[in-house]
Structure 1
Amino acid sequence: MTNEYLPLIAKIEEVKEQTKGIRTFVFSIGKDTDFSYKAGQFIMLSVFGFGEGAFSPSSFPVKDGKIEVTIARVGKLTTRLFEMERGARVGIRGAFGNGFDLERVRGRDILLVAGGIGMGALKPLLEALLLDRNLFGRIDLLFGTRTPSDMPFKEDLELWEKSELLKIKTTVDSPDGNWKGDVGFVSLLLDEYKTDAGKTTAFVCGPPQMLPSVFERLLAKGFNTNQIITSLERHMKCGIGFCGHCRINENYVCTDGPVFSYDEIERMERKL
């Protein structure tokens, strides 16, 4: 039986600069290592001597024994990680959580709404959808950041646009002189978004202050509450429902989530 507390030892294979303060780390865990995950699951990443934190892989699936994790520098753990160089060792536990249920949305149209680094959590979902593109209907991505320089995954966005497998709209709060996209909060893109809400599932991920306005507009467009899906962020310590740090009433975000539908979140909030 695998010890859920014992991490795999992984090596930093490559570091990709996304924006100032956001980097994608490519971790090598070995081609022969039995490690896999569903889009939407998370890992516990250890920086030895500094601690452990929960992060979502930003690529799908595991390729040649490597996974990507996109991380913002926001505290001691991530600051130390940003100081580490290629070849340095870290620990990885998991994967944990429920992940996105792709079987449930087969044949449906898909809307992805991402803000900032929240795109990192939806990127593996999008890559999983594109691997079986014929199983799903129309796919739309609405992606917003504060400024053009704050937008991660620019190369991926270009490749997706060229593929013509989905439609993409990007927006920024504060444009520069070279910006040619929309201007304003990502939620405003929904005002012009036309879809049959009854056959569309929306996946939403971004900063907490973004979510209420996105949810409000989706509901106004007729989306069913069980077809609005998001990934909750909580301070997770163990990843297996033991420590209780991520508990919301009887729900543990690390085991019952982190992926929840809007109606599930409503039920949890009513019990608070």
Structure 2
Amino acid sequence: MAIQHFPLKLVSRRMLAPAVGHYVFVRDDGQPLDFIPGQFIQVHFHYADGTATKRSYSLATIHDHAMAPGEEVEIAVSYVPGGAATALFEGLEAGGIIDASGPFGRFCLAAADANQRYLLIGTGTGVTPYRAMLPQLEAAIAERGIEVVLLFGARTPAELLYGEEFRAFADKHPEHFRFVPCFSRELPEDPHPDTRHGYVQQFLAEFTPSAGRDIAYLCGNPNMVDACFEALKDCGLEVKQIRREKYVSSK
């Protein structure tokens, strides 16, 4: 699909975590924003001195690929103290306009995939592509009987972005989808049996990655992405079986 430049108008926002906002936009030019789950948009703005800059945000929108004008465009925004993009988003009120382009990226499920299982690994806002992929994963479960493990790293339960949605999806597909939140600092009061205490890379081996059945996705903190990439290679996965995106906080 073609890369486009377009205005986005804020419809609403809510806090997903103490320093992460969920923003809902619509295109303000009367056109739909179609995209492939896993892709991202870029938001264009200026520093205080007038220098042009941009930031990338994965699309969190869940849609059926029949989008029409006026349908929602959703992203998760991490607030970085002193950050120019943070100032832009924190100061944005309903009806406010930002300048964007996209969609970009190939961090997507591929139609030709014939794997038995997906290992989806993320930290922070790196989990947003997996939220957008849920309808595709549900279709693949129905059509191919695939399994999915979502390993999601967060420091505390308050930072488990979209956690209730992922748990509900796991409860709906108990034989095919496991949601494994890994908390590095604080566990919930009543942890689910699939909850882990530590970092995602510590628990990857528990799921026995296999070149014969797995395709892995890595999205989020660069250190996590690098560590899991090496661990997956050590398990025999080829580079083409490991798809990755790194999120770098920037001012």
Q: TM-score range by the shorter chain?
A: 0.7 to 0.9
> Residue 202 of structure 1: CA displacement?
0.6
By how many angstroms is 1:230 displaced?
A: 0.6
Q: Which of 112, 122, 137 is equivalent to 1:129?
A: 137
Structure 1 position 169 matched with structure 2 position 171: no
Matching of residue 218 in structure 1 with residue 232 in structure 2: yes
| Unmatched 5+ stretches in structure 1 | 237-272
What amino acid sits opposite 1:191 in the alignment? A
Give per-residue Cα distances to partners, 1:18-71, cap 9 Å, x unaligned. 101101101112695142111222212235787532221112336551111111
Q: Determine which of 16, 19, 24 is the counterpart of 1:18.
A: 16
Distance in 2 of aligned mates of 1:154 and 1:3? 31
Which residue of structure 2 aligns with residue 111 of structure 1?
Answer: 119
Give, as a single letter, the amino acid of the residue that structure 2 aligns with 1:13. V
* Number of aligned residue pairs: 233
Q: Does the 8 Å CA contact 1:9/1:92 hold for their aligned counterparts?
A: yes
Aligned match of 2:72 = 66
Distance in structure 2 (CA, Å) of the matches to 1:176 and 1:206: 21
Q: What root-mean-square deviation, in Å, do the aligned CA atoms of Structure 1 and Structure 2 show?
A: 2.8
Q: CA deviation at 1:157?
A: 2.0
Percent identical residues? 21
CA contact (8 A) 2:61 2:131 kept: yes
Amino acid at match of 2:26: S
Shift of 1:96: 2.2
**Corresponding residue for residue 120 of structure 1:** 128
Shift of 1:14: 1.4
> SS at 1:105's partner residue?
coil
8 A Cα contact 2:211 2:236, kept in partner: yes
Aligned mates of 2:39, 2:222 — CA distance in 1:
19
Aligned residues of 1:106 and 1:135 also touching (Cα < 8 A): no
Q: 1:47 to 1:14 in 2, by over 3 A?
A: farther
Q: 1:17 offset after TM fit, Å?
A: 1.0
Cα distance in 1, alignment partners of residues 147 and 137 from structure 2: 11
